[in-house]
Structure 1
Amino acid sequence: MNETMKTLLNRRSIRKYKSEQIKDEELNAVLEAGKYAPSGANQQSALFIVVQNKNVIEKLSKMNAAVMGKENIDPYYGHLQ
């Protein structure tokens, strides 16, 4: 089995995150991969915004929860806990 198939078959979703920042080269690799990820009708309309400031993340989380009408949840899966 080729490496791509192994990766696809063994991937897992993560919803618990560490509070430490990743290295810049790791972040850049993720962003680069995202640029080439498939998109609906091949429109490549995704826009990536990186937020690493904990206060800004908390504010965005509260704003997203309010939009969802569920102000008592964390849309970022407890990232700030």
Structure 2
Amino acid sequence: MAGISRWVKPETYPLAAAMGAAIGLCGFMLLRSALANPDVRINKVDRAAGVLENFEEGKKFKEHAVRRWLKEHPPMIMPGLNRLMSDPPKP
């Protein structure tokens, strides 16, 4: 065990966490695109159908739950601080 502690240092934990999160996000997007994208057809029967005009399925794929949630919120990182700094004071 003394050899492992020489290679794994506490300073590398944030880097390992960031890399793990990035790899996980890339894997999730790869699987989502491969399995749920209406333009990707894996089995032979679907590939033989050619180009389909499935606009509803494409819209459903694009407008996923996270995108719908983000549409309801203002595009600000700190909305409270932005309002405090930009709105004029009330008399």
TM range (shorter): under 0.3
TM-score, with length taken from structure 2: 0.24
Highest relative contact order (Cα 8 Å, sep 6+), 1 or 2?
A: 1
TM-score (norm 1): 0.25
Quick check: which one's helix share is greater?
2
Question: Of the two, which has the highest radius of gyration?
Answer: 2
